[in-house]
């Protein structure tokens, strides 16, 4: 699924609500030693035929649903039409179906902590040095509020291990997809709290030692972007509006199901 957002986007950290995901990364299940269903293996993923988009500009939220192939849409902000066109062909942009591909391999690498899982997925990394930001360009009110180090080079996509957690009941999991790489003001960077979540359909039980996850249901991939990567297509657009749009946030959402081979 190729999905694009063509005036490429600069996104503030807009995913704190995702911290309530059921898998509880960083909470109880990550350190649990209780039994968990076996999720290790290769999974085939099927996506919904729609892509949800949410854009927030200056406190105003705009939602749009596109088909599986993506496309263009226009919002009217303060009387000014702004057209967005999804562009996932850019190597530094990871869209939902790329962040969680059509076939993935899951592993439970530590028998002592069976709720921990790893999935190898496309992710972002800095093709250069991480350097301290210019202090006048970070802090409250900027795209880099915590003055994190930024990438002095391109942000590129490469395979990496992604950590997740099966919940205590063994009925669902969450993966954190974002790499947490700050922008250099040019590239897009995937938000550190972009997530994939799904319920697990299982057979057997912990009591009989044959507890197996066989399907993923009600899956959802939520991908947000951070970075100075929103440029307006109209060079004559009002500068004040341009400042608002550069401070926009964007979130992509798509549903999925999974079947274990």
What pTM does this model have? 0.71
> Is it the case that residue 166 has pLDDT exceeding 60?
yes
More confident residue, 84 or 256: 256
Report, as an integer, the average pLDDT of 9-30.
39
How many angstroms separate the CA atoms of 83 and 55, rounded?
A: 12
**Structural tokens at position 67:** 């088909």
CB neighbourhood size of 5 (10 A): 27
| Neighbouring-strand partners of residue 178 | none
Higher local confidence (pLDDT), 25 or 30: 30
Residue 164 pLDDT greater than 70, yes or no: yes
Residue 212 reports pLDDT greater than 80: yes
Give the mean pLDDT of 156-171. Answer: 87
What is the predicted pLDDT for the residue at 171?
Answer: 97
Q: What is the pLDDT of residue 186?
A: 46
Give per-residue pLDDT as tens, 111-151.
999 999 999 887 667 777 878 878 887 777 666 667 777 77
171 lies in some domain: yes
Q: Is the pLDDT of residue 214 over 80?
A: yes
pLDDT for 89: 64
Tell whether 5 is covered by a domain: no
Q: Long-range contacts of range 131-140, CB-CB < 8 Å, 24 or more positions apart?
A: 133/182, 137/185
Residue 145 lies in a domain: yes
Higher pLDDT, 46 or 187: 46
Number of domains comprising the chain: 1
Q: Tokens standing for 260?
A: 């274990």
Which DSSP letter does residue 98 get?
Answer: H
Q: Indicate the pLDDT class of residue 21, thresholds 50, 70 and 90.
A: very low
Note whether residue 6 is domain-resident.
Answer: no
The boundaries of the domain holding residue 137 are: 16-260
Q: Per the domain annotation, does 101 fall within a domain?
A: yes
Judge whether 9 lies within some domain: no
Residue 90 within a domain: yes
Higher-confidence position of 74 and 225: 74
Does 152 map to a domain? yes
């Amino acid at each position: 699924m190729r999905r694009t957002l063509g005036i490429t986007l600069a996104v503030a950290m807009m995913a704190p609500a995702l911290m309530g995901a059921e898998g509880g990364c960083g909470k109880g299940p990550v350190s649990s030693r209780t039994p968990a269903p076996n999720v290790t293996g290769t999974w085939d993923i099927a996506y919904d035929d729609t892509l949800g988009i949410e854009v927030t500009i200056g406190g105003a939220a705009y939602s749009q649903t596109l088909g599986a192939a993506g496309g263009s849409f226009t919002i009217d902000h303060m009387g000014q039409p702004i057209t967005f066109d999804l562009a996932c062909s850019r190597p530094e942009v990871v869209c939902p179906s790329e962040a969680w591909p059509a076939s993935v391999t899951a592993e439970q690498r530590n028998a002592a902590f069976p709720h921990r899982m790893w999935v190898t997925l496309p992710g972002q990394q800095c093709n250069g040095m991480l350097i301290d930001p210019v202090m006048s360009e970070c802090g409250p009110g900027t795209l880099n509020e915590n003055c994190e180090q930024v990438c002095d080079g391109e942000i590129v996509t490469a395979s990496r291990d992604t950590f997740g957690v099966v919940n205590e009941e063994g009925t669902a999991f969450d993966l954190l997809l974002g790499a947490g790489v700050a922008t250099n003001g040019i590239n897009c960077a995937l938000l550190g709290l972009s997530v994939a979540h799904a319920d697990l359909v299982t057979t057997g039980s912990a009591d009989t030692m044959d507890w197996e996850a066989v399907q993923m249901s009600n899956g959802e991939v939520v991908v947000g972007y951070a970075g100075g990567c929103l440029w307006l297509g109209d060079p004559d657009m009002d500068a004040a509006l341009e400042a608002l749009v550069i401070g926009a946030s964007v979130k992509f959402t798509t549903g999925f199901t999974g079947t274990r081979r």
